[in-house]
Amino acid sequence: MKEKVAVATVQGKAYYLIVNKLREQEVPFISLVPGESVPPKIEFVITTEKEKNLVNHGKILVFYGEAELDGLVEQLKILLMGKTAYRKIIFGLDPGVATGLVAIADGKVIEEANCFSSKEIVDSILKVLRNVHFEVTSVSVKIGNGVPTYKDLLMELDGALPSRISLEVVNEAGTNKPLKENKRSRGVRHISSATRIAGRIGKIVPRRKQFAAHNGSQ
């Protein structure tokens, strides 16, 4: 039994939203009716505020609404790794018409996407960081320098992301596999390149926000 998560609710909308998000994030689960016995191998149960008193389990995560669902699932993924918080999150970006994005938390991929605008990139990063506390989690964004537009993206990220996030420019040479070695879709190759970029050491770019704060500016 690989499932460690159970969804226990008979509320139709809540069930639909929860299970779709778990499937999207590739988190295996089983479905239960509140009050039904929870199998011993289940580590966490997701249920609603109204039904939580019907669930006999020591580790319950409560679904409060669609607006909180992303954060709930991110919390669940951290807990499934046996942690209370990630120690390090690294984002890799492969800029282009479609920018490959990958987020790696403590060595495990937790998010991957192809983004088609700087706003989509920023939104994807902030979504992952919604419940992150920078006091305990270090965050860096590594950007490949394979296309000239990486400089524009770098400036936009500098202005949009929290000042505690480190920005790095990475030499992108060798991160893209030739077509003959990789016959998968172009989008998958962007993500694959982003993963390699995330694993490389880059040149840290000074943050303008940090400079402004140091000088007492807004």
DSSP 73-134: HHHHHHHHTT-SS-SEEEEEEE-SSSEEEEEEETTEEEEEEEESSHHHHHHHHHHHTTT--T
Pick one of 3.30.450.40, 3.30.565.10, 3.20.20.70, 3.40.50.2300 as the CATH number of 5-80: 3.40.50.2300
Residue ranges per structural domain of the chain: 5-80, 88-214
CATH number of 88-214: 3.30.420
pTM, two decimals, is: 0.71
Q: What is the tens place of the pLDDT at every residue in 69-94?
A: 988 998 898 899 888 889 999 999 99
Q: State pLDDT tens for residues 1-56.
A: 489 999 999 999 999 999 999 999 889 999 999 999 999 999 999 999 999 999 99
